[in-house]
A and B are shown apart, each in its own frame.
Chain A
Amino acid sequence: MKLELGKILIQDVQFGAKTEVVDRTLFVNKEEIIELVLEDDRLIGADVELARPGESVRIAPVKDVIEPRVKVTGGGVLFPGMINKVEQVGSGRTHALVGATVITCGRIVGFQEGLIDMSGPAAKYCPFSETNNVVLVIEPADNLETHDYETAGRLAGLKVAAYIGEAGKNIEPDEVVVYETKPLLEQALQYPDLPKIGYVHMLQSQGLLHDTYYYGVDAKQLVPTFMYPTEIMDGAIVSGNCVAPCDKVTTFHHLNNPIIEDLFARHGKDLNFMGVVLTNENVFLADKDRSSDMTAKLCEFFGFEGVIISEEGYGNPDTDLMMNCQKVSQKGIKVVLITDEFPGRDGKSQSLADTVDEADALVSCGNGNVIINFPPMEKVIGTLDFVETMIGGYEGSLKPDGSIEAELQIVIASTIANGYNKLAARGH
C-alpha cells in the first residue's frame, strides 16, 4: 500500500469569506463552520475562535485536536466509519494542512480534558502551542447525556477538520512524501539484509469515555489485527476518549504518529519497517490475556525481529504494556517500550503501575506529576470553570487572577507516550 502525503504548510489562520488557503494562510468561514456543527441537534450552540502561536490565549477544556486533511486520489474518504462510509483508506494521495489544527472545546464531558496555552512558560510542553488553531467552542443541548455529548463533540471536530481540509485539495503541496509498505512477503524481500521491525500500537479502550475507533469500530471490540501504516494517515483511527490530558493521543497524533514517521525515515536504510500490529487496552483480565497473546502471535507470524510498543494512558494500561512486552519478548523478538511517568509530585514513587523483567529498554516521555505554574492569559477560549476538577488540577489550582498551579498532566499531550515530544525524565 502506497500513499503520497502532500504537505501544505500553514503559517497563519484568519477568518475569511471563503474557507481557502492563500499563500500559506488558512482562511476559514466562521458561519459555514457553525452551520455544519449545528446540523447535529445534540449541540445547540457553537462558536469559532482562532488561536495562534505566541498569543496570550488559554484554551480549556480541550477534547480533541485534529489536523485538516483531504483525500485527493485513491480509494476511500477521510475518517471512514465515523463521518464517512467505511471504505479502506491509505492509498493514493492525501493532502494535509500542516501547521493548522481544529480543536474542540467547551463545557467538560468528564474530568479528563485539558489545557493549551499559546504562550508563556507552559507553552513549551504542548505541541499545539505551535500550531495555528481553529477552535470550535461547542454547547450541548440541555440535559444531553454525557456519552451523547462526547459523541457529538467528537463528530463535530472531525466534520470541521474534513471541511477545512477540502481547502487543500487543489493546492500544490510544499512537500510530497511517499510512504509505502508492500504485502508481507514482498516487504520482507525488499530489504532482506535489514532487520524486520514492527510497531505494536496500543489503542486506549478502557471504555466509558476512554475509547478509540478503528474504521468506526469501538476498539474494545477489536482483536489484534494488522494495519498498513498509511491507513492511519488517512484517519482510520480516531480518538474518542477523555483519558488524562497529558497522554491523550489526539486524532492529530494518530494522523501524525511519530513512531510510524520515524520508522519510515529509516526504512530501507537501517531497518525494514514491516507494518503495524493494532491492539487495545481493555480493563478485563480475559481481554488483556487474549489481546497480548494475539499481539505476540502476530509479531511472531510476521517475522518481526524487533518492535516498538506504545501505550495510551497510565495506570491500568501499564499492565497491557507489560504483558505485551513479556509475551512478544518470549517469542525472541526485541522490544522497546515508550511510556510516560507518574512517580508522584515528589518524583520518588514508582513511575509505572506494573513491570516485568523483560521491560529493560524503555523510552521516557516525562513525569506528568510535576507541578507547574501557568500565568494568567489575556483571553480564555472555553472556560476555566472546571480546572480544579480536571486531571492535574486540585482545590486551589485556579487563582483569582486567572493564573493556575497544576500538575503538568493537565496540559494536552504534554507527556504523550508515543514519543511525539522531546520531554523526558531522568533520575536525580
Chain B
Amino acid sequence: MSKIKVVHYLNQFFAQIGGEEMADMEPELREGLIGPGIALQQALGADYEIVATVICGDNYFGSNLEEAQSRILELIKPYSPQLFVAGPAFNAGRYGVACGTIATAVEKEFGIPALTGMYVENPGVEMFKKDLYIIETANSAAGMRKAMPKIATLAKKLINGNEIDLPAEDGYHERGIRVNYFHDKRGSTRAVDMLLQKVKGEEYQTEYPMPFFDRVPPATPIIDMSKAKVAIVSSGGIVPLGNPDRIESSSATKFGKYDVTGMDRMSKDDFISIHGGYDTAYILEDPNLAIPLDVLREMEKEGQIGELANYFYSTTGTGTSVGNAEVFGTEIGKQLLADGVTAVILTST
C-alpha cells in the first residue's frame, strides 16, 4: 500500500529560517519535512509520509492574503497531497490566522482533510473553528510534543472516515456544529432534572448555549420617496409558474430574480408560491399579497415613488439557515446597489 501523502505548512520561525526579520519571506516549498515535521511524522507513523513542507513569512501572508494563498496552492498541487497539516500555531496570532486561512483554502481546493492546532486565545480559533478542526494546544511551542499526537490521531480519523468524537475527547476546539445523538434519557426527563437543579441553585448545563445574534441596524430613512428607486425582496417563495430555479419549499439554498416588466399586477396565471411554511391558499389566488406589485405600480404612476425596479428577488424563508440567508442577502444587496436601487421593501410571510 502506498503511503498517505502529507503536506505540512510552517512559518519562517518554525521552519528555522529566522525570526521577525524574516517575516516578509515569500512562500517557498521544500521537499520532505522540517523542524516540527519530525514530531508530526513520528505521530502519524509509517503509513504516512510528509512529502513537502511549505513555508511562508507571517507578515507576507498577512499583507498578501490572496496572493499568498494562490501561490501556496500552486506550490503544493504537484504533490497531490491527501492530508494537510498547518502549524500548530500555539498562541502566535499572525501565524494562527495564516494556518487557518491556508488550511481552509486547501480543504476547499483539494477536498482533503486539513487541520491545524492553536491555543484557545489565538484569534485564529474564533475565525476558523467553524471551517476546520483546530486541535487545542498549549500557549507556546513547549506544547509541541503533546500537540502533534493529537493532531495525528484526529487526522487519521478524518482520513479513515471514522466518526469524530466530542471536542473534549478528540481534543479540538468546539466548532459550533450541531450534531445529533441519542441521549439515554428523553428530553422531558432532562428538562425536569435541569429545572430542579436551577430551582435549587445547583449547577446545571444548558444543552444549547445561545449563539450570538447579528442585529442589523436599520438604514437611515429616505427623505424623498419620489426620487427613490424601489425594489421588492421577499422570503415568501413567489416564483414564476414551473419554479424555473427550482427553489426549495423549505431550507432554501438559492434565490431567484424575476422580471415584472410591463406588468401592472402579479397574476396568478404567471406566479405561484412554493413556500412550505405557510398556507399559500390566498397567495395562490392573489400573488400581490406577497409581492405588492399592484399598489407599487399605482404609487409609481402617481409619482409617490420615483421608480419601481422591474424585477423582484425571491426565496423561501422557512427553515432557511442564517448562513444561507446571509449569503443571499449579501449578493442581492450587491446587485441592487449596482442597479441604483435606493429602497427595498422586504415582504415576509
Contacts and interface: CB of A to CB of B under 8 A. Distances in A.
A351 B322 CA distance: 9
Interface in A333-347: 334-336, 338-339, 341-347
B281 A420 contact: no
- The number of chain A residues touching the other chain, given as a range, is 35 or more
Contacts of B164: 428
A391 B248 CA distance: 9
Interface of B: 130, 164, 166-167, 174-192, 194-196, 198-200, 204, 206-211, 213, 246, 248-251, 274-279, 281-282, 317-319, 321-324
A421 interface: yes
Contact of B177 (A124, A307, A354, A428): A428
B198 to A, nearest CB: 4
Interface in A341-374: 341-352, 354-355, 357, 359-370
A344 B323 contact: yes
Interface of A: 110-112, 124, 145-147, 195, 197, 206-210, 244, 258-259, 261-263, 266, 270-271, 305-308, 314-315, 334-336, 338-339, 341-352, 354-355, 357, 359-370, 389-395, 407-409, 418-428
Nearest to B274: A389
Contacts of A392: 250-251
Nearest to A409: B319
A195 B208 CA distance: 25
Contacts of A124: 182
Contact of B180 (A308, A395, A425): A425
B287 to A, nearest CB: 16
A266 B188 CA distance: 12
A424 B180 contact: yes
A48 B167 CA distance: 49
A315 B319 contact: yes
A424 B185 CA distance: 10
Q: Which 6 pairs, one residue from A and one from B, show the smallest C-beta to C-beta distance?
A: A344-B321, A419-B187, A208-B279, A419-B188, A111-B276, A258-B188
Contacts of A352: 208, 210
A391 B278 CA distance: 11
A338 B187 contact: yes
Contacts of B324: 344, 349
Contacts of A357: 210
A350 B197 CA distance: 26
A425 B178 contact: yes
Contacts of A112: 276-277
Contacts of B251: 344-345, 369, 392, 394, 407
